[in-house]
Amino acid sequence: MPSVAGGIAAVAVALAIYAGSRGLRYFDAALVGYATATVFLAFGVTYRYAVWVSAPAARRYLLRGWQAFFSWRNFRSLPTAVPRSVLGYLGFQTFLRARGRGRWIAHQLVFWGVVLATLITFPLTFGWLAFFSDTASGPGYTIYVLGFRTVSFDALSLVGWMVFHGLDIAAVLVLAGCGWFLWRRFRHREATTGQRFGYDFFPLIGLVAISVTGLLLTFSSWLLEGRSYDFLAIAHMATVVLTLVFIPFGKFFHVIQRPASVGVEIYKRAALERDGVFPCRRCGEPLEAKAFVSDLKQTMDELELGFSEWAETCPRCKRVLRGQAYLDTVKRGFR
In the complex, which residues of this chain contact other proteins (CB under 8 A)?
52, 55-58, 60-61, 95-96, 98-99, 187, 189-190, 192-194, 251, 253-254, 257-258, 261, 264, 268, 287-288, 292-293, 296, 299-300, 303-307, 309-311, 313-335
Instruction: Please identify, using beta-carbon distances, which residue of 76 and 332 lies nearer to other proteins.
Output: 332
Instruction: Please identify, using beta-carbon distances, which residue of 154 and 200 lies nearer to other proteins.
Output: 200
Order of strands, sheet of 148-154, starting from the edge strand that comes earlier in the sequence: 129-133, 140-145, 148-154
- The nearest distance, CB 4 to other proteins, in angstroms, is 21
Instruction: Please identify, using beta-carbon distances, which residue of 64 and 236 lies nearer to other proteins.
Output: 64
- The nearest distance, CB 236 to other proteins, in angstroms, is 26
- The nearest distance, CB 62 to other proteins, in angstroms, is 8
Cα gap 44→241, rounded to integer Å: 13
Cα gap 20→240, rounded to integer Å: 22
- The nearest distance, CB 296 to other proteins, in angstroms, is 6
Cα gap 267→270, rounded to integer Å: 5
- The nearest distance, CB 106 to other proteins, in angstroms, is 13
Half-sphere exposure of 226 (CA within 13 A, CB side): 1
Instruction: Please identify, using beta-carbon distances, which residue of 58 and 129 lies nearer to other proteins.
Output: 58
User: How far does Cα 112 stand from its chain's mean position?
Assistant: 12
Number of CB atoms found within 10 A of residue 252's CB: 19
Instruction: Please identify, using beta-carbon distances, which residue of 67 and 218 lies nearer to other proteins.
Output: 67
- The nearest distance, CB 237 to other proteins, in angstroms, is 27
Q: Which of 18, 45, 53 is nearest to 260 (CA)?
A: 53
Helix (H) or strand (E) holding 153: strand 148-154
Instruction: Please identify, using beta-carbon distances, which residue of 132 and 326 lies nearer to other proteins.
Output: 326
**End-to-end distance of the chain based on CA atoms, in angstroms?**
56
Cα gap 22→10, rounded to integer Å: 19
